[in-house]
Amino acid sequence: MESAKLTDEQWIEHAYLKAAKGTHTGLIGVSGIVAGVALAAVTGTGFAFLPPAIIGIHTAWRRNKEMSESQTAIQQYGCVAHELEGHSLGEYCEQYGDETAIAQLIWAEKKGLRLSPDAEALLNLWRQRQEKPKPQRKESLNKLLEPATLTPSAFTNQAVGSESEERSIDLPANDEPDDSDEQRSMEPDLSNPDPRARMVDLLTVLGRDGFPLGSLIHHPFVWFYGASQSGKTTAALMLAIARLALDHQVGYFSTDDDYPKRIAWSEVASNFRAYSQGVDRMTRAIESASKHSLKHQSVIFDEMLAAASQYEIDLQKLLTAVLMKGPKSGIGFIGISQNDTSGAHGLKGMDATWRSGRVGIFAVHTEDEMGERSPTGKYLIDRNGREDRWELPSWILTETNEYGHPDPVVWMLTRFPELTSSNGSRQTPDRDGQNPDKTGTSAGQNPDNPHGLVDKPVLGLIQELGQNWAGLSERSFLGLFLTLSKGMGRTRFIEQHMGVTSGRKRQEISKYIDSLLAKFQVEETR
């Protein structure tokens, strides 16, 4: 068949059907029974029927089991290379790269799946080439290809661009090995009292030691994905903490109450309804944002696959807004999911835009003999078709969480106590040198509103969007208000889009906006 330039779904369908056609379990079982009957007739012994029949039935059962396991790998994990042969395998390698196909074959072999003859030959050829001497640094990167640390979605066509290009794991010419392992194992000096400067020091050393998290600080769309217990959320939280230290407002959206409560989020959604409202609100904010108006606004949307499938939340408009207008608006969008396909999250026909617009970060996990997953601290990065490998340095794995597991998030919060929450509040040091008092109230905050949330009386005046805006920090409220009302005028926006028709109430909201403008020293663009 002509399989060049097939879509992800078409490759999966092709491999799935091939697995089914290649296993004629019914014929195998019947042939065993027929052979048994023939042998019994020749020998005149009834028991002679049993061995061939049993062998035939067992073979049929085994082939059926192989087919089922192969089809499961194809459908659930997108692992297709092990079923391809001849022209199809060649076209797949040309379209997605040899590295993608090899990684699938290694994983399939580890899982005990049957490889086609051509697939087995390709894997053997690759292993022969791997026996050639390599530079020391490249060998350490190739450890990521060992079967013990692979999951199929790490290297499937979901993790590469849609254009045909040669894949390589060569390091850039200027990425030379450090002078000593001892230097890479040294914990950074984080004695600077200013959390911003302290975070810059941390990001600098992380980049030196093979985990350049700082390169993601200003990227508008970062997508963390992988299996559960793979470390994808850990890496996303590390990025969020870094942005918090650099004066970003970061909100966290989850469909349930299982979210990291120790971090001082600017806002939190912890149920299905709030999540859905957050999707709608952020979509409007990004679509109507002027250039760089959301530069210091970041959001994490967790469980995006579950939100799209289980809860049927429409993510199409939000993700389209992030892809099309995210760079202009300055938003820092972080998505967490189990896979990296645009179609699974409501986007159709936008795969190329998806690949080029987001930075995909796959968390590599391992499984023990009992099938229990553990993070490896290794990540595969896809930035507009360019692939890289990151690994957490050992010094950031010296703190443990409540389960006794090494946790970089705990490590960071221990060294950045300013970013931890106290009853949901963020204690932010005053930049003029005044520190928060013991109640967590910073200089300039209303003592009756220590957490910096939008005043409830003001929310009571907002009829249409009151629940959507509840729980926002004052800074986030002001930023969204200015973004959404830009070009419309304050009074018209309050009346038409906030549902406030009373002149007195409009004046109260307008007065509150003026107080926030003065508090945060922000100018309103009419």
What are the sequence ranges of the domains in the chain?
Answer: 8-157, 186-426, 456-520
- DSSP code, position 98: H
For 360, the enclosing helix (H) or strand (E) is strand 359-367
Rounded CA-CA distance 277/271 in Å is 10
Q: Residue 333: what are its φ and ψ, rounded to 5°?
A: -95, 130
Cα first-last separation, the chain: 61
Residue 290 has pLDDT above 60, yes or no: yes
Burial environment of residue 411 by CB neighbours within 10 A (0 to 12, 13 to 18, 19 or more): buried
Residue 47 has pLDDT above 70, yes or no: no
Nearest one of 452, 431, 434, 451 to 443, comparing CA atoms: 434
For 42, the enclosing helix (H) or strand (E) is helix 25-43
Convert the pLDDT of each residue in 149-185 to its tens digit.
334 343 444 333 333 333 333 333 444 444 445 555 6
Residue 432 has pLDDT above 70, yes or no: no
Rounded CA-CA distance 389/168 in Å is 12
Rounded CA-CA distance 235/232 in Å is 5
Share above pLDDT 70 across residues of the chain, in percent, rounded to a whole number: 66
Indicate the length of the chain as a whole number. Answer: 526
Rounded CA-CA distance 75/160 in Å is 18
Of 243-252, 442-451, 517-526, the poorest mean pLDDT is in: 442-451
Contact 328, 289 (CB under 8 A): yes
Rounded CA-CA distance 230/404 in Å is 16
Nearest one of 469, 516, 486, 511 to 503, comparing CA atoms: 511
Rounded CA-CA distance 23/348 in Å is 33
Strands 373-383 and 359-367: antiparallel
Strands 421-422 and 425-426: antiparallel
Distance of CA 454 to the CA centre of its chain: 31
What is the reported pLDDT for 45?
55
Taking residues 412-425, report their average pLDDT: 77
3-class SS at 333? strand
Q: What is the pTM of this model?
A: 0.52
Residue 353 has pLDDT above 70, yes or no: yes
Taking residues 186-206, report their average pLDDT: 91
Convert the pLDDT of each residue in 365-393 to its tens digit.
988 888 788 999 999 999 887 889 999 99
What is the reported pLDDT for 329?
92
Rounded CA-CA distance 478/481 in Å is 5
Nearest one of 91, 165, 58, 175 to 386, comparing CA atoms: 165
Nearest one of 161, 113, 131 to 360, comparing CA atoms: 161
Q: List own/partner pairs for 84-91 with CB under 8 A and 24 or more apart.
A: 84/15, 84/18, 84/116, 84/118, 84/119, 85/116, 85/117, 85/118, 85/119, 86/118, 87/3, 88/1, 88/3, 88/14, 89/116, 89/118, 89/119, 89/122, 91/3, 91/4, 91/6
What is the reported pLDDT for 154?
39
Contact 519, 444 (CB under 8 A): yes
Of 134-138, 220-224, 264-268, the poorest mean pLDDT is in: 134-138
Residue 49 has pLDDT above 70, yes or no: no
Name the CATH superfamily, with its identifier, for domain 186-426. Answer: P-loop containing nucleotide triphosphate hydrolases (3.40.50.300)
Residue 436 has pLDDT above 60, yes or no: no
